[in-house]
Amino acid sequence: MNKICLIGSNGFIAKNFLTQQYLNKYNITSINKKNYNKKIKNIKNTDILLHFAGTNRSEKKKDFEESNIKLIKNISKIINKKKNTIIIYLSTNKINEKSIYGKTKKLGEKLLVEFCKKNKKTLYIYRLPNIFGKWSKPFYNSVVSTFCYSIMNNIKYKNNAPNKVIKIAYIGDLVNSINKILKKKNHPPNISFVDDFKTYPISLKNLESKIISFKELRYKKNFDIFKSNLSRKLYSTYASYFDKNNFFHIIKNNQDDRGRFSEFFKSTNLGQISALTIKPNKIRGSHYHHYKTEKFLIISGSFQITYFDISNKNKKFTKKFNNKKSFVIETIPGYYHEIKNIGKHEICILIWSNEIYNPLKPDTFRFNEKI
């Protein structure tokens, strides 16, 4: 079993990495500030060293020097120089900036490269942009998490540079990239810079706008905002900041003596998803559409559906179904349709339609003759 030592195990990148199921085949030692003195010696003969530690925000210059420079010097003294240890180091794309963070990370990276060259180690370096995802800290290491947390909780903040374009990357993509390295069979001594994960350039104004749209999603129910992979990844991050009391919310419920109806999902390109119930011996539908089509997924219950071609009165037919199998019912343009509950219990139906319901142009018509 390969031995892995991970320095910086309390950070949000490490937390996302360590929760993967496949890692149970490794013997992992997690090292953080609390257990550093006790466990740092474990890196001496480790097979793989994951150096995820670092300080990117502090009021004290000493904190940057301790985490970003001195720690690497200590690693160089302890690690077995005769063994080809695989080292994965998380650096930053800010190493050429004049900030204390950029300067200390640049020097730390330089020291590690020199050590690995001299001692024939395998070193993989990630010069990371702004990483976002679940468990990142608002007001600390991710502008995405700061926006998500603030917008969700109505906390005032300032977007001082709305037109500034930054690069961001999703934690899941970074973790997948690290996994690829760990799964490689051969690691010849070499210094490699890794950039095989997706990055997204985005202005702070557009980033803020996307996250605001997530908050509006609960009452607008328009899922067009999820057209891009970036939007889906950002929403996953946004959702991770929900307070437990906000894990659920109520949507509008239209109810009469026949049952209930609720709209759940709307998309200009993908249509609409709604939920419908029908009480025993009650009928829903009883109309036709000229252009709209629907798919009814019957979740439970026994029912009878009746179709009627409005252009030909002779084309009427009825079919019965029970709840032993799940059925999808198609509604056809130009066909009157109605569903009757013929069982003893309420029917539950999930409905997809190919367009969003527009009350001004409903494309829903009652048939004025008995069938």
Boundary (domain end) residue, out of 73, 105, 128: 128
Confirm whether 258 is domain-assigned.
Answer: yes
The pair of three-digit structure tokens given for residue 20, joined into one six-digit string: 């993967």
Question: Can you read off the two tokens belonging to residue 279?
Answer: 């009480």
Q: 174 is written with which tokens? A: 């970074």
The Cα-based distances of 16 to 33, 51, 131, 171 in angstroms read 18, 15, 12, 7
Mean pLDDT computed over every residue of the chain: 92
Tell me the three state secondary structure of residue 35: coil
Tell me, yes or no, whether 191 lies in a domain.
no
Q: Report the distance separating Cα 92 and Cα 107, nearest Å.
A: 12
The pLDDT of residue 368 is above 70: no
Given 128, 147, 171, the domain boundary residue is 128
Asked if residue 319 belongs to a domain, the reply is yes
Angle, nearest 10°, between helix axes 71-78 and 100-118?
A: 10
- Is 141 part of a structural domain of the chain? no
CATH code for position 306 = 2.60.120.10
What's the CATH number where 52 sits?
A: 3.40.50.720
Q: Would residue 72 count as lying in a domain?
A: yes
What is the distance between the alpha carbons of residues 248 and 271, in angstroms, rounded to a whole number? 23
* Angstrom distance (rounded) from CA 212 to CA 162: 14
What DSSP state is assigned to residue 370? -
Residue range 95-100: average pLDDT?
A: 90
* Two tokens, residue 194: 């890794």
Tens digit of each residue's pLDDT (9 = 90 or more) over 221-241: 778 888 899 999 999 999 999
Global confidence as pTM: 0.87
Q: Which residue matches tokens 């011996």?
A: 281
Count other C-beta atoms under 10 Å from residue 49's C-beta. 23
User: Per the domain annotation, does 92 fall within a domain?
Assistant: yes
Per DSSP, the residues of 310-332 read: TT-TT-EEEEEE-TTS-EEEEE-
130-183: per-residue pLDDT in tens?
A: 999 999 999 987 899 999 999 999 998 889 899 999 999 999 999 999 999 999
- Work out the number of other CB atoms within 10 angstroms of the CB of residue 52: 23
- Count of CB atoms situated within 10 Å of the CB of 299: 14
What is the tally of structural domains in the chain? 2
**Last residue within a domain, chosen from 93, 128, 163:** 128
* Domain range enclosing 320: 254-353
Question: Is 167 inside a domain boundary?
Answer: no
Q: Residue 240 domain-assigned?
A: no
> Residue 371's pLDDT is what?
46
Determine the distance from the C-alpha atom of residue 214 to the mean position of all C-alpha atoms in its chain, rounded to a whole number: 13
For 243-290, what is each residue's pLDDT tens digit? 988 888 888 899 999 999 999 899 988 999 999 999 999 999 999 999
Q: Is 366 exposed, middle or buried (0-12, 13-18, 19+ CB in 10 A)?
A: exposed
